[in-house]
Chains A and B, each alone.
Chain A
Amino acid sequence: MAESADHVSCQEVVELVTDYLEGALPGDRTALFEQHLNFCEGCVWYVDELRTTVSRLGEIREEHVPPDTRERLLRAFRDWNRS
């Protein structure tokens, strides 16, 4: 659906959520984003889950990651472009 000046869709919420959580969304889009959250329980749940995930991940420091997990993650990202 084309972008509307009056509302955003669930799809647009998914696309904009990172900017919203980082406070990088322009004011008018933030207003539409929050109007959507005001009536869409599914998107509220989605945004809350993502907010929690970002918050938890922000608490993890490199020394908290077990060496084998760290190695598997590095390998996964190294091989990312090869697959």
Chain B
Amino acid sequence: MIAYKFLNTGGRGVFTRFSWPLPDGGPGEWVDARIVPCRSGIHACRLSDLPLWVGREMYEIELDGEVLDEPTKVVASRGRLLRRVTSWDGDARDAYTRMCADRAHELAASVSPPLDEWDAVVEPSVPEGPALLGFVAARIAEELSCAGGYRTERGRQTEWLVERLGLTPA
């Protein structure tokens, strides 16, 4: 199965700080891990999970062995990084952040009276980057139409990422 994985600079795991074997003219080495969801195992994103885990570096990852579908990720017993998704660069991160900020403003202004308190947090959040702005836009959507709004907004963000980054649905 092909999925995606966000890592910190230099290919380090965001939560585990594990140093991933990076692709270098070919796939990185296989990494094996016993599956215990949210504890151990190779955690990765389906396309629909991407906005929830947006990070610094993005890689395409091949998963093998046992693969569990979790609500917001997949967990596998082995995986290897195939390539870095180079289209997820500084410009793309900035553009995604701006798209989410603009969308958050749009949502906050879409009701009467407008959600001024929510709108006020948008611009100060921009320097914090794409993950926070994606959350802010989704939270405002949730404020307007409950959980359905949150998930719909995350779906919009997925569509943006898939199109901008040229990702192919598995």
B37 near A35 with CB under 8 A, answer: no
Chain A, Cβ-Cβ closest to B125: A39
| Docked complex Cα distance between A6 and B49 (Å) | 12
B151 near A6 with CB under 8 A, answer: yes
Number of B residues whose C-beta is below 8 Å from A? Answer: 25
A23 within 8 A of B: yes
Number of A-B contacts (CB under 8 A): 49
Dominant SS among interface residues on chain A: helix
Complex interface bits, A10-46 against B, C-beta within 8 A gives 1, otherwise 0: 0000000000000101011011101101111100000
Chain B interface (Cβ < 8 Å from any Cβ of A): 14-15, 37-39, 52-55, 70-73, 128-129, 131-132, 134-135, 138-139, 142, 147, 150-151
A69 within 8 A of B: no
Most chain A beta-carbon neighbours within 10 Å: one of B14, B38, B71, B138: B38
